Structure 1
Amino acid sequence: MACRISELVLECADPARLAEFWCEALDFVVLGDEGDGSLEIGPRDGFGGPQPTIILSRHAAPQPGKPRLHIDVNATDRDYDAELDRLLALGARRADVGQTGAEPWHVLSDPEGNEFCLLKARLDPL
């Protein structure tokens, strides 16, 4: 039997602000408070389903430097350009990591500067 990803943990200074951004971006909800100001967000059906949850772990000074892991997202109910516009309106910013412009994705950052990619392929919603 294999294991699967159940949670992703993202260190951040303001879990509530990032919860607002990522819940809107992913159609997630706040599932719980970890007791130290950290928040768990995830799909409406909660922990343990086909999608992992995200723990927004409160840290006064998140670890500086380039993270070794980032999140990729895909549009499900609109085209690529419309999803890019929606994410930018939510507070995402374009990020330059040396891309050429020919890639089938956009590199963005969330309100705290965590990089993520919007991939061009559209996926069916779960």
Structure 2
Amino acid sequence: MVLRWYTVVIDCHDVRKQAAWWAEAFGWKTIIETDDECVNVPGWVEQDSFQDMPWERIGPGMVFVPVPEGKTVKNRLHLDFAPHTSQDRDAEIARLEALGATRVDVGQPEGPSWTVLADPEGNEFCVLSSRDF
């Protein structure tokens, strides 16, 4: 038996705004949108495409749920993203910043091969160096 990574759940104040931000950042689409939950999936995903795909090969989505408290400390778990080697990493970081991401210092060393950013509600994530796979 194999479990499948089903979703990443992001606690936030404004689920619609956060879901829209991440959908724009990834080119994903929001398939459920209420005040209590928003769900994003990759932009290429169509409901029918899951029918022929093995369960364990379907990638995770993102779920946004409301919480009353604000973020107070560095995330214990964060997501790493990488552009393809055919993409301009610095341009991608600039695009994310133009959408509202901010650079943050979480104690990373000087000159790492990654850049730490935070989404509009302060959730940290990293943009790594370009990768082939």
Q: Specify the TM-score bucket, using the shorter chain as the normaliser.
A: 0.7 to 0.9
Quick one: distance in 2 between partners of 1:41 and 1:68? 22
Structure-2 residue corresponding to 1:40: 39
Identity level (%): 37
Matches within 5 A, 1:45-84: 45=45, 50-62=58-70, 64-76=72-84, 78-84=87-93
Which structure features the higher share of helix residues? 2
Question: Mean Cα displacement is larger for which, 104-113 or 61-70?
Answer: 61-70
Compute the displacement of 1:102 (Å). 2.0
Question: Mean Cα displacement is larger for which, 108-117 or 38-47?
Answer: 38-47
Instruction: Tell me the TM-score normalised to structure 1 length.
Output: 0.84
Aligned residues: 123
- Alpha carbons of structure 1 residues 63 and 83: separation in structure 2 relative to 1, 3 Å: closer
Displacement over 4 Å in runs of 4+: 46-49
Structure-2 residue corresponding to 1:93: 102
Structure 2: gaps of 5 or more residues? 51-56
Which of 115, 118, 127 is the aligned partner of 1:109?
118
Structure-2 residue corresponding to 1:7: 7
Instruction: Tell me the TM-score normalised to structure 2 length.
Output: 0.80
Write the deviation string for residues 29-76 of structure 1: whole angstroms up to 9, x where unpaired: 10113x552201111315766431010111122464332211111124
Give the secondary structure class of the aligned counterpart of 1:61. Answer: coil
